[in-house]
């Protein structure tokens, strides 16, 4: 709490879409509450809406490090998260996190979890080439995906994935597989937005 009122005084929250003061996403630009559902193999994906207009502006602002937008998105995501649910954010690449100084996806997950009474578990890490070096052949084969689960405590637990944008769903599927290998029960993912197609000018930053 402490510094927040002071920060708000100098950097008041401002709508990422229309620049109105008061919230990272004002009530006219915030998602309507009607969600979109996408079915992937073994995974139901619930999105706040399509990757366009206000949600697109919000996701891009999140990547620019806008904490006010992360809080506004967290409030919009919270109704989709059950109390005591284990929410596993998809990790931002280490490089992007260094550039932006924050992991926007994790920040939205934390904001949503505080409101919903859920638990954020950063159980996934992205594999780098270095992480593969020095492993035995069988270890490399077991770890063929792009992501690894670094938490032993997902075994036997129902976990929900959380990411910003879902396009093809391949990232969500890889992450679900990594959690399942660790014994997690993964049937549901929540995302901020679903993108219909990959457009070179308006496309999302990753899938």
Q: Which residues bind Zn ion (CB under 5 A)?
A: 15, 17-18, 20, 26, 29
Structure tokens at 139: 């270890």
Residue located via tokens 């992937």: 40
Half-sphere exposure of 61 (CA within 13 A, CB side): 26
Structure tokens at 99: 């550039």
CB closer to Zn ion out of 1 and 21: 21
| Total Cβ atoms within 10 A of residue 93 | 12
Find how far residue 166's CA is from the centre of its chain.
10
Handedness of CA 129, 90, 60, 200 (dihedral sign): positive
Find how far residue 82's CA is from the centre of its chain.
16
CB closer to Zn ion out of 17 and 126: 17
CB closer to Zn ion out of 11 and 150: 11
Query: Whole-number minimum distance, CB 16 to Zn ion, in Å?
Result: 7
Question: What are residue 58's DSSP bridge partners?
Answer: none
CB closer to Zn ion out of 16 and 118: 16
CB closer to Zn ion out of 57 and 182: 57
Query: Whole-number minimum distance, CB 76 to Zn ion, in Å?
Result: 13
Query: Whole-number minimum distance, CB 129 to Zn ion, in Å?
Result: 42
Query: Whole-number minimum distance, CB 50 to Zn ion, in Å?
Result: 17
- Contact call for residues 24 and 180 (beta carbons, < 8 A): no
Query: Whole-number minimum distance, CB 11 to Zn ion, in Å?
Result: 17
């Amino acid at each position: 709490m402490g510094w927040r009122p002071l920060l708000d005084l100098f950097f008041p929250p401002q709508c990422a879409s229309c620049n109105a003061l008061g919230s990272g996403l004002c009530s006219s630009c915030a998602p309507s509450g009607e969600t979109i559902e996408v079915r992937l193999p073994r995974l139901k994906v619930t999105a706040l809406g399509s990757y366009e207009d206000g949600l697109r502006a919000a996701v891009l602002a999140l990547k620019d490090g806008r904490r006010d937008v992360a809080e506004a998105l967290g409030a919009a995501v919270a109704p989709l998260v059950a109390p005591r649910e284990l929410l596993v954010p998809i990790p931002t690449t280490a490089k992007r996190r260094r550039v932006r100084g924050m992991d926007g996806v994790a920040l939205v997950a934390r904001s949503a979890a505080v409101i919903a009474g859920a638990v954020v578990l950063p159980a996934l890490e992205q594999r780098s080439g270095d992480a593969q070096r020095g492993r035995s052949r069988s270890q490399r084969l077991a770890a063929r995906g792009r992501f690894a689960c670094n938490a032993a405590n997902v075994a036997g637990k129902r976990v929900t994935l959380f990411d910003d944008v879902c396009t093809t769903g391949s990232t969500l599927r890889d992450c679900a597989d990594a959690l399942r290998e660790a014994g997690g029960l993964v049937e549901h993912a929540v995302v901020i937005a679903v993108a219909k197609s990959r457009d070179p000018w308006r496309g999302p930053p990753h899938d």
